[in-house]
Amino acid sequence: MLEETAALTFRALRKWVRNPASVMPGLFTAMFYLALFGSSFNPANLIPAAYASAASSFLKADFGGAPTYITYLTSGVICIILVFNMAFGGIDLVLDRQLGYLNSLLTAPVPRAAIYLSGVAQNLAKVLLLAVLTFIVALFIPNGLQLPASFGVVDFLGTFVAFVLLGLGLSFVFTALALTVRSIDSLVAIVNFLTLPIMFMSNAFFPPSIFPGWLRDVADVNPVTKANEAARLLIVNGGALTSSELGTYEADIAYLVVFAAVLGLIGYLAAKRALRPE
Amino acid sequence: MADIIQAEGLTKVYHGKVKAVDHISFHVSEGEIFGFLGPNGAGKTTTIKMLNTLASITEGRATVAGHDVAKEPGAVRKSIGVVPQELTADDELSGTENMMLMARLHHVRGSAATAKIGELLRLVDLEDASRRKVKTFSGGMRRRLQLVMGLLHEPKVLFLDEPTLGLDVQTRSKMWNYIKGLNKDRGLTVFMTTHYLDEADSLCERIAIVDHGTIKVSGSPAELKAAHGGDVVTLKLSGGADLTEFFSGIEGVSEVAREGDVYRIKLPRAERALPAIVTGVVQKNLEIQEISFSKPTLDQVFLDVVGRSMRDEEASESDSAWENIRMERAR
């Protein structure tokens, strides 16, 4: 099964690599969020200058001590990029079905699980590259992402463990969805319905501490919130985590592992159903 | 010869109400080219889908290469090659890369894969173009690539769904030669669908005419033509008396139609009756202005069996957006 999964994933990525411009729209979206949203909605600027000291303590307390708003926003934007690109990445799979390519796999002795897993893997690979690029771009924005001196390779990897687990869970569910729907229209309708609430009911842009209670309750269990929380701990503090911060990081990662595992199971069962003979 | 495909009472009902295939039974012998001929929507593609495990069987059963399609789909997939109606080769990959992917999916590896790919591309005259991306291929080249993409694992049966859809006449006859070659040289059994009458006539050893999900008639093209068509002599005379009765009296003539001075005489073997017809006209002191005779075509058989001409069907072909895109790619 691994051989087929690898062959199919390789095919998709090879197509993608030959058309490098295809990462541009996603990268522009990330840049606009970081540079434009990050500048215009910077909470430090939303508070009048007369309350500057209150503003700085608000930033410290509620934004996890991030030195700039864009530092806070970077992991949020990466999560949003994960959600959106993962969700719309399914369009390729719907096209594969509509153009008959999927049928040519189904009549070959290819395990159905390999068809599903290659969809998961190709989506994940594309989106993670975009996430890395977004992270790098954020560093070059003026007043942008400012990493602490102690931020090293291990912290970078620790940050991306959170993103990979979130991305994996999302890829499991959105790949299964793309194999299930029969038209791009219905995929776009469902995905539009899902992505905005996932984005706004999380700590991607602002801390849930400023949300109304009901929204905070939802945001607190949103895996996007967990991934952001874990990633921000490292982005803001680098290698210098207190033991309670480390505990939070570990709990978030454990939450994301369970999230990915559960969606993996659901996604697999849904995909198996979707790939049955018509 | 042994039957390599057997279908008994094969039925497909979609969503509990649309009966796409209605109790179809047939068999295909090893090494045969067998064709399903019928208008769009007759149930041809659905039948192929049931045989190659893409569609579940509502009722009845089928075996392919000795394996029950419903019970051993994996074994069936290993012994078949499928060339779908759609052009599924990847635009962004080269011909060789497309072949390589199919080889890996069929567990054909290493130098065996390279040798096989080279051999098959040579077979359809694509070796020179094999490094080019498929998006630069013409419609005919794409069809040829598609044809051999289904052959990497040396299947026992090849399913061809409308193998020449959207191709011009010249390219079509080239495709026919490739298909005939595969069948003759490699003993490959071919099950194909088509809505081109000439294609069925030229390629298939046996055909089944399907309409509304059922087989109306089956046999070799020659048998079907003999049974349902017969020859037609068309004759234009220079006025004179009505000869309908005289022509009807000639041995073997089954039908005479007259329109002004033009007579259409239907009979089994025109060559034998021609002398009698000509002598008769001359004896009555009439002059023959035009004479011709035609051998039966499958179109006549189709008209006879289905009750309408295949050509009427083609005008009403589906023109959905996807159909257009497919045709676009086929160009």
What tens digit of pLDDT does each residue of B195-205 get? 888 899 889 99
Residues on B contacting A at a C-beta cutoff of 8 Å: 14, 49, 52-56, 73-74, 77-78, 80, 82, 84-88, 90, 92-93, 97, 101-102, 104-107, 149, 322, 325-326
Give chain A's end-to-end CA distance (angstroms, integer).
23
pLDDT exceeds 50 at position A29: yes
The answer to the question of residue B302 being in a domain is no
Examine residue B21 and state whether it is found in any structural domain, yes or no: yes
Asked whether residue A160 carries a pLDDT value surpassing 90, the answer given is: yes
Q: Tell me: the pLDDT tens digits for B67-83?
A: 999 999 999 999 999 99
Confidence of residue B316 (pLDDT cuts 50, 70, 90): very low
B68 and B205 assigned to the same domain: yes
Q: B221 CA to chain A: closest CA distance, Å?
A: 30
> Do both B145 and B247 map to the same domain?
no
Indicate yes or no: CB of A104 within 8 angstroms of CB of B84. Answer: yes
Same domain for B275 and B180?
no
Contact partners, residue B190, CB within 8 Å, separation at least 6: B32, B33, B34, B157, B158, B159, B160, B179, B182, B183, B203
B11 and B71 assigned to the same domain: yes
Question: Does A20 contact B at CB distance below 8 Å?
Answer: no
Instruction: Find out whether A96 and A11 touch, Cβ atoms under 8 Å.
Output: no
Asked if A99 lies within 8 A of B88 by C-beta distance, the reply is yes
pLDDT tens for each residue of A231-244:
999 999 988 889 99
Residues B264 and B189 in one domain: no
Percentage above 90 pLDDT, chain A: 67
CB-CB under 8 Å, B88 with A103:
yes
Domain-embedded: residue B130: yes
Average predicted confidence (pLDDT) for chain A: 91
The DSSP line for chain A is -HHHHHHHHHHHHHHHHT-GGGGHHHHHHHHIIIIIIHHHT-HHHHS-GGGHHHHHHHHHHHTTT-SSHHHHHHHHHHHHHHHHHHHHHHHHHHHHHHTTHHHHHHTTT--HHHHHHHHHHHHHHHHHHHHHHHHHHHHHSTT-----TT--HHHHHHHHHHHHHHHHHHHHHHHHHHHH-SSHHHHHHHHHHHHHHHHHTSSSSS-GGGS-HHHHHHHHH-HHHHHHHHHHHHHHHTT---HHHHHHHHHHHHHHHHHHHHHHHHHHHHHHHHTS--
Structural domain including B213 reads 3-225+323-330
- Which of B77, B87, B326 lies closest to A109 in CB terms? B77
Say yes or no: B147 and B192 in one domain: yes
Put simply, whether A55 touches B (Cβ < 8 Å) is no
Cross-chain residue pair A99–B86, CB shorter than 8 Å: yes
Interface touch B54/A105, C-beta < 8 Å: no
Mean pLDDT of chain B: 86
Flag whether residue A15 sits within 8 Å of chain B, measured between CB atoms: yes
Lowest-confidence pick of A29-33, A63-67, B56-60, B71-75? A63-67
The pLDDT confidence band at residue B318, using thresholds 50, 70 and 90, is very low
Residues B14 and B64 in one domain: yes
B314 — pLDDT class (breaks 50, 70, 90): low
* Structure token digits, residue A174: 């959105």
Minimal CA separation from A195 to chain B, in Å: 28
Query: In this structure, is residue B313 part of a structural domain?
Result: no
Q: Does A22 touch chain B (CB under 8 A)?
A: no
pLDDT of residue B320: 41
Per cent of chain B over pLDDT 70 is 92
Please report where in the chains the tokens 């295809």 appear, as a residue: A22
Digit-coded pLDDT (tens) for B10-28: 999 998 888 999 999 999 9
Amino acid type, A44: A
Q: Tokens for B141?
A: 């080249």
Whether residues B157 and B72 fall in one domain:
yes
B157-161: strand order across its sheet: B80-83, B157-161, B189-194, B33-37, B206-211, B214-219
Strand partners, B191: B34, B159
Do residue B105 and residue A277 have CB atoms under 8 angstroms apart? Answer: no
What token pair was written down for A15?
């197509």
Are B89 and B200 part of one and the same domain? yes
Edge-to-edge, what's the strand order for the sheet holding B231-237? B255-259, B262-267, B231-237, B288-294
What is the Cα gyration radius of chain A?
Answer: 20
Q: Is residue B71 part of a domain?
A: yes
- Nearest residue on chain B to A15, judged by CA atoms? B92
Interface of A with B in 58-117 (CB under 8 A): 98-101, 103-110
Q: Is residue B308 part of a domain?
A: no
Nearest Cα neighbor of A143 from A22, A34, A250 is A34
Contact B88 A278 (CB under 8 A): no
B217/B234 same-domain check: no
Looking at the structure, tell me whether residues B207 and B269 fall in a common domain.
no
CA distance A11 to chain B (A): 7
Closest CB to A277 among B54, B90, B325: B54
Shared-domain flag, residues B138 and B86: yes
Note whether residue B317 is domain-resident.
no
Q: Encode pLDDT of A182-221 as tens digits.
A: 999 999 999 999 999 999 999 999 999 889 999 999 999 9
- CATH number of the CATH domain containing B246: 3.30.70.980
Checking if the pLDDT of A55 tops 80, the result is no
> In this structure, what token pair is assigned to residue B126?
């694509």
pLDDT digits (tens, 9 = 90+) for B252-265: 888 888 888 888 88
Instruction: Find the CATH number of the domain harbouring B19.
Output: 3.40.50.300
**Which positions in chain A touch B82 (Cβ < 8 Å)?**
103-104, 107-108
Q: Is the pLDDT of residue B328 over 90?
A: no
| pLDDT on residue A49 | 75
Per-residue pLDDT tens for B91-137? 889 999 999 999 999 988 889 999 999 999 998 899 999 999 999 99
* % of chain A surpassing 70 pLDDT: 100
CB contact under 8 A, A105 and B105: yes
* pLDDT score for B301: 83
Whether B188 maps to a domain, the answer reads: yes
For residue A139, pLDDT beyond 60: yes
Q: How many domains does chain B have?
A: 2
Kindly state whether A218 is in contact with chain B, defined as any CB-CB distance less than 8 angstroms: no
Interface test with B, best of A14, A17, A92, A104 (most B CBs within 10 A): A104
Q: What is the DSSP string of B283-321?
A: HTT--EEEEEEE---HHHHHHHHHSS-HHHHHHT----H
- AA identity, residue B181: G
Q: What pLDDT does B313 receive? A: 54
